[in-house]
A and B are shown apart, each in its own frame.
Chain A
Amino acid sequence: MDAVQPRSTPGVTAGHHFSSLQICPHKAWSDYFLPGSLKADPPGFLLAMQREGIAHEEAICQSLFPGAVRIPERISSDDRQRRTVDAMQAGAPAILQAYLAAEGRVGIADVLELVGPSSESATGFLYRVGEFKRAQKLMVAHVLQAAWYTDLLGEIQGQTPTEAFFILGDGSRIAVPLAESSSIFSGQKSQLNALRDPAARPGPHLCKACLSCPWRSVCIPELIATEHVSLLPGISRAMAERLRSTSGVTRWPVLATASDEQLLDYGIPSRDWPLIRSAALCLSAGQAVTRQPLNHATLRALSAISIEFGSGASGAAGAPPPQAAWLENDGAGPTRIEIAPDWTADLSPVAGRTPIVVYGATELAITHRLLRTAGGQSPHVVDLLALIENFVHAPLQGLELAQVTEYTNPALTCPADGPGRVMAMRAVINWLAGDRGVAA
């Protein structure tokens, strides 16, 4: 943290702080105090999801709220707020991207839906908050976000609606009584208020969410530099706090060298000792730390495939149709196999071998389709990204193949081309199978 200078005053609280707090308190604190320039680029799949979300929202707006007033985004905050209030006073049937603000707080609701005229409302009309979500199920963070906007709306119109609604990814509309979540909403607001103090910095803790967190380029180096206990799998935030507060332990090497009696004193159950010790050895040796042991022989037997897309780049979500597959070839370099427009390709060098490995959901789907087209019995096709996401516990700075390779084999740059990706996948597979990478 020495090189990172946080702001002295926190930013305003917005709806997204609630989802940050749910994921990681340190993420919420970072949202308040760290400059946006320190954020890592979102991974490709997240960008694709964001694009889909925007398209989904547009489709809903056009079909469900055709007469809505839209508050422009590229004007000043004051103007956005003024136009929102103007639209409310005019009784607009719906207000898209409604800007709701008060001292130190802001919210941009996907839509304010007109409930009806109200003599008790400061604007003459009563509105309620609606949110559009690409997800098929409602999350707690969605509801807390809507509760936050409803609070702000209540201050503007003098009446606080008792429910908010959501349009989900399948087009269904759900109304949620906000009383259901009022207790956790109050608790979360209190926690966020407490985090608005720069001294209340929780500190990072390695978890699955770090792999796609925008603050990972700040947190991950700190975790490594401080040898944080969370670099060992199975050390929860509660356990890390207990280690720190009762025993002053914050570094994983302390746990690695602790005796059985010491680990008992620390409060770590005996069933976790083998995992802690083996993980510590792997960290020291630069080997992969996994949440569950992997079968090294099966891993090494994987045959890597990388898909080449029309532009020459490969592996990008939403890319043009595939034009070739690069197959790993024992002894020789990767082999290029043309993919015909009808999705036929000669995968015989790998089709009879099990299993195949690819990187990412897009290439997984393409490979499955190619194998289906080829007919016959399909081997298992493993998604290496999913394998890492599910089983690897390492301070990776992201899930893109290049980022994983950077962690495991910094000397091996991962080019975007097919043969380069195949070689990078092989290096990552070998690391998972016990080869040494960079020691923590």
Chain B
Amino acid sequence: MDVASLQDFLRRERQANRAEAALTSMLAEEALVDRGGCLVDLSITRRQQGALTLDCPVNESRFRPGTRIDLSCEAVRLSGTITDITERGLRLHVRVERRVDSLPSGPWTARESETDLSFLVSQCLARLQPGAPGWSFFSTLAGGEPLNRPAAVPPTSATAAIVDQVIADVGRSIDSSQWMVLDRCANLPSVFGIQGPPGTGKTMVLALTAETLARMGRRVMVVAPTHQAVNNALSAIHSFFPGRPLVKVGDELRRESLDDAIPCRPVREATQGLPPRRHQDLIVGMTFVSGLHNQALRSSGLVPNALLIDEAGQLPLVQGACAGLFGAGVTLLFGDDAQLPPVFAADVVEDPLAVSLFQRLRQAHPSLIARLNTTYRMNAELCRITAAEFYPGGGEPLMPCPSVAGKRFYLPGAGIPEGLPATVISPEPSLVWLPTPDIHSRQANEWEADAIARVVATCLRHGKSVRDMAVVTPFRKQAALIRRRIQGLLPANADLPIVDTVERVQGLTVDLVAISLAASDPDFVSEVAGFLFSPNRLNVAISRARTKVIVACSPTLLEAMPADYAAFLGRESLRRVLTGRAGTPVRA
């Protein structure tokens, strides 16, 4: 790996994205709606300065907060960014940068805009030169030896005291793997990776680390690929250490899930209200791309000593390689390369450089990654399945915390949903396969939607709340079908559990997860095998649950032949999970 190869990868990815956009531009509107890249029949229901609220009758799009959209109505065109989606997806809140009072009320069409970060990233990569700022981090990623810790650091005994005090201030015990990670971070490695499998407390460890480094006198910055991840990290720091000054640098409208006590400001106003002697105490958060804009390209006065990158498993290497430009002597990567990876254009997805920053660190320096090994979420059975299939080898095995290991799913008084086996709601087993009789489905499977709706309805009628469960499916059409089925069974319920694709549930914790794989037609399964059999997606889906996982899928899924060998191995992993043979070794 070198700068030239990354620049070349960036150029090829940009070309691939443009080619994809060009092809997509040839599709009719109904096809774009079908693909999730377009919404039609939107009506403006509220106008504010710089913001619109639009309602739609149906939403099966992939739009989320943060999606940039192009709105059109007759001859009127404008662009905006979705800041929130409410009312079960039927209300969009959009920030726009023009006057809104004279806009027609509708009907509007919203299409996903093309976004291109390649120029910014290319400029940043061009700054990476031997001897220049950012080079040492880059050369570590490229396989060079990491630098030793900086000379000017507190003595070890003072460090240990700070670590002990931070743990004491949290008011809860931490396990040995968490302590080990915290201790290593406090010793100021130039680069270090912390892998946090599901439920192992990665966010808490990040918060402890940030606080520890701040007490050691380091200027700490927290970055992540998305606003939501940054906001979650800052909110976690605030919840454990409410006295720590924090600021989110970014648009006030992008503070979803950010604690109300944390201000959201432009970079120039980040230290507002803090006396200069306390600027050093401030922990700053921003998205990684914002950081590239502000740190690497313009002098912001917020150069960190310690950079914490959260969700580094979702940050593309080509961006993450520029992390050294932030100027920090300590860069800590928090993430999990066994969960969702970054998304790359189809034409470059097989390129060796199409990896996350976290994966690259593992490839170059596996010894620089430590894994948290105790899950506080999954019971023993679910932990065993997850550990065996998704976290094999690599030191200490993933184990359930004793306080959760024995937990089971209980639904007292509930009868068995009609037509389904008792095991779908029984305490044991914790993972149940519900074989689908259908063999001709593609992105929507009515049998599975009906079955899962009945399970959800049974749970809600017998004391479970919508927050106790989630439904995960690979396809938006299946998610929409399942929601309709649930609403049909429970028309009086205003709230539904989360029913969505796996991208939207990473980080979630519930008692029960129902997974509907939907696809059963062998030809279609072969076409989408790489996506359907992704072990990362299966890991995220299963590991949301504390006590119960129901997987609805057709046996034909397990017989369909993927073209890609990695997808075949993923299929075999799914087979082992479903047939109770998870962890049966195949590779020696």
Q: Is there contact, CB below 8 Å, between B22 and A355?
A: yes
Q: Is there contact, CB below 8 Å, between B586 and A180?
A: yes
Q: Is there contact, CB below 8 Å, between A295 and B27?
A: yes
Tell whether A239 pairs with B588 under 8 Å between CB atoms, given A140-B562, A293-B28, A293-B30: no
Taking a contact as CB atoms closer than 8 A, the residue among A242, A293, A390, A391 that contacts B440 in the complex is A242
Taking a contact as CB atoms closer than 8 A, the residue among A170, A382, A383 that contacts B352 in the complex is A170
Please report the C-alpha to C-alpha distance between residue A170 and residue B587 in the assembled complex, in whole angstroms.
Answer: 24
Interface flag for A238 (CB, 8 Å): yes
Tell whether A136 pairs with B350 under 8 Å between CB atoms, given A236-B523, A236-B524, A237-B522: yes
Tell whether A383 pairs with B22 under 8 Å between CB atoms, given A143-B565, A238-B439, A239-B440: yes
- List residues 321-361 of chain B with CB under 8 A from any CB of chain A: 350-352
Which residues of chain B are near A137, meaning CB under 8 Å? 350, 564-566
Q: How far is the CB of A356 from chain B (nearest CB, A)?
A: 9
Interface flag for B521 (CB, 8 Å): yes
Q: Is there contact, CB below 8 Å, between A236 and B521?
A: yes
Q: Is there contact, CB below 8 Å, between B21 and A380?
A: yes
Q: How far is the CB of A250 from chain B (nearest CB, A)?
A: 17
Q: Is there contact, CB below 8 Å, between B18 and A295?
A: no
**Contact residue range for chain A?**
35 or more
Residue-wise interface mask of B (537-576) relative to A, using a CB-CB cutoff of 8 A (1 in contact, 0 not): 0000000000000000000100001111110110010000
Q: How far is the CB of A225 from chain B (nearest CB, A)?
A: 23
Q: Is there contact, CB below 8 Å, between A238 and B523?
A: yes
Interface flag for A139 (CB, 8 Å): yes
Interface flag for B174 (CB, 8 Å): no
Which residues of chain A are near B35, meaning CB under 8 Å? 292
Taking a contact as CB atoms closer than 8 A, the residue among A138, A382, A391 that contacts B25 in the complex is A382
Interface flag for B34 (CB, 8 Å): yes
Give the nearest-CB partner of A382 in chain B.
B22
Which residues of chain B are near A1, meaning CB under 8 Å? none
Q: Is there contact, CB below 8 Å, between A298 and B352?
A: no
Q: Is there contact, CB below 8 Å, between A386 and B23?
A: yes
Interface flag for A269 (CB, 8 Å): yes
- List residues 146-190 of chain A with CB under 8 A from any CB of chain B: 170, 172, 176-177, 179-181, 184
Give the nearest-CB partner of A383 in chain B.
B19
Q: How far is the CB of B239 from chain A (nearest CB, A)?
A: 43
Which residues of chain A are near B587, meaning CB under 8 Å? 177, 180
Please report the C-alpha to C-alpha distance between residue A355 and residue B522 in the assembled complex, in whole angstroms.
Answer: 37
Q: Is there contact, CB below 8 Å, between B26 and A299?
A: yes
Q: How far is the CB of B332 from chain A (nearest CB, A)?
A: 29
- List residues 430-469 of chain B with CB under 8 A from any CB of chain A: 439-441, 444, 446
Interface flag for A271 (CB, 8 Å): yes
Give the nearest-CB partner of B562 in chain A.
A140
Residue-wise interface mask of B (382-395) relative to A, using a CB-CB cutoff of 8 A (1 in contact, 0 not): 00000000000000
Which residues of chain A are near B70, meaning CB under 8 Å? none
Which residues of chain B are near A179, meaning CB under 8 Å? 586
Tell whether A380 pairs with B31 under 8 Å between CB atoms, given A137-B566, A140-B564: no
Please report the C-alpha to C-alpha distance between residue A172 and residue B28 in the assembled complex, in whole angstroms.
Answer: 42
Q: Is there contact, CB below 8 Å, between A380 and B566?
A: no
Q: Is there contact, CB below 8 Å, between A293 and B27?
A: yes
Tell whether A269 pairs with B440 under 8 Å between CB atoms, given A137-B566, A170-B352, A237-B523: yes
- List residues 388-430 of chain B with CB under 8 A from any CB of chain A: none
Interface flag for B29 (CB, 8 Å): yes
Which residues of chain B are near A136, meaning CB under 8 Å? 350-352
Q: Is there contact, CB below 8 Å, between A141 and B563?
A: yes
- List residues 1-51 of chain B with CB under 8 A from any CB of chain A: 15, 18-19, 21-23, 25-31, 34-35
Q: Is there contact, CB below 8 Å, between B25 and A207?
A: no
Q: How far is the CB of B26 from chain A (nearest CB, A)?
A: 6
Please report the C-alpha to C-alpha distance between residue A306 and residue B524 in the assembled complex, in whole angstroms.
Answer: 35
Q: Is there contact, CB below 8 Å, between B22 and A380?
A: yes
Which residues of chain A are near B561, meaning CB under 8 Å? 22, 140, 184
Interface flag for A142 (CB, 8 Å): yes
Residue-wise interface mask of A (210-252) relative to B, using a CB-CB cutoff of 8 A (1 in contact, 0 not): 0000000000000000000000000011110010000000000
Q: Is there contact, CB below 8 Å, between A207 and B523?
A: yes
Q: Is there contact, CB below 8 Å, between A139 and B564?
A: yes
Q: Is there contact, CB below 8 Å, between B565 and A140?
A: yes
Which residues of chain A are near B572, meaning CB under 8 Å? 180
- The interface size of chain B toward A, counting residues with CB under 8 Å, comes to 40
Q: Is there contact, CB below 8 Å, between B523 and A292?
A: no
Please report the C-alpha to C-alpha distance between residue A355 and residue B27 in the assembled complex, in whole angstroms.
Answer: 13
Residue-wise interface mask of A (394-420) relative to B, using a CB-CB cutoff of 8 A (1 in contact, 0 not): 000000000000000000000000000
Give the nearest-CB partner of A378 in chain B.
B18
Please report the C-alpha to C-alpha distance between residue A393 and residue B59 in the assembled complex, in whole angstroms.
Answer: 28
Q: Is there contact, CB below 8 Å, between A387 and B25?
A: no
- List residues 136-181 of chain B with CB under 8 A from any CB of chain A: none
Which residues of chain A are near B441, meaning CB under 8 Å? 269
Q: Is there contact, CB below 8 Å, between B23 and A238?
A: no
Q: Is there contact, CB below 8 Å, between A22 and B440?
A: no
Q: How far is the CB of B20 from chain A (nearest CB, A)?
A: 9
Which residues of chain B are near A242, meaning CB under 8 Å? 440
Give the nearest-CB partner of B443 in chain A.
A271
Which residues of chain A are near B565, meaning CB under 8 Å? 137-140, 142-143, 176
Q: Is there contact, CB below 8 Å, between A295 and B521?
A: no
Residue-wise interface mask of B (221-256) relative to A, using a CB-CB cutoff of 8 A (1 in contact, 0 not): 000000000000000000000000000000000000
Which residues of chain A are near B562, meaning CB under 8 Å? 140
Interface flag for A195 (CB, 8 Å): no
Q: How far is the CB of B450 from chain A (nearest CB, A)?
A: 14
Which residues of chain A are near B21, meaning CB under 8 Å? 380
Please report the C-alpha to C-alpha distance between residue A390 and residue B562 in the assembled complex, in whole angstroms.
Answer: 19
Interface flag for A364 (CB, 8 Å): yes
Q: Is there contact, CB below 8 Å, between A381 and B440?
A: no
Give the nearest-CB partner of B25 in chain A.
A380
Tell whether A294 pairs with B31 under 8 Å between CB atoms, given A137-B564, A138-B565, A140-B561: yes
Give the nearest-CB partner of A176 in chain B.
B565
Tell whether A238 pairs with B27 under 8 Å between CB atoms, given A180-B586, A380-B18: no
Which residues of chain A are near B19, meaning CB under 8 Å? 364, 381, 383, 386
Top 5 A-B pairs, shortest CB-CB distance: A293-B28, A236-B523, A292-B31, A380-B22, A138-B565
Could you tell me which A residues sit within 8 Å of B by CB distance? 22, 135-143, 170, 172, 176-177, 179-181, 184, 207, 236-239, 242, 267, 269, 271, 292-296, 298-299, 355, 364, 368, 380-383, 386-387, 390-391
28 contacts across the A-B interface (CB closer than 8 A): A136-B351, A138-B564, A138-B566, A139-B565, A140-B563, A172-B352, A180-B569, A236-B521, A236-B522, A236-B524, A237-B523, A238-B440, A269-B446, A292-B27, A292-B31, A293-B27, A293-B30, A294-B28, A294-B31, A295-B26, A296-B28, A299-B26, A380-B21, A380-B25, A381-B19, A383-B19, A387-B23, A391-B26
Known: A140-B563, A143-B565, A238-B521. 16 other contacts (CB 8 A): A136-B351, A138-B564, A177-B586, A180-B587, A236-B440, A238-B439, A239-B440, A239-B521, A269-B441, A293-B28, A355-B22, A364-B19, A382-B22, A386-B23, A390-B23, A391-B26
Could you tell me which B residues sit within 8 Å of A by CB distance? 15, 18-19, 21-23, 25-31, 34-35, 350-352, 439-441, 444, 446, 521-524, 556, 561-566, 568-569, 572, 586-588
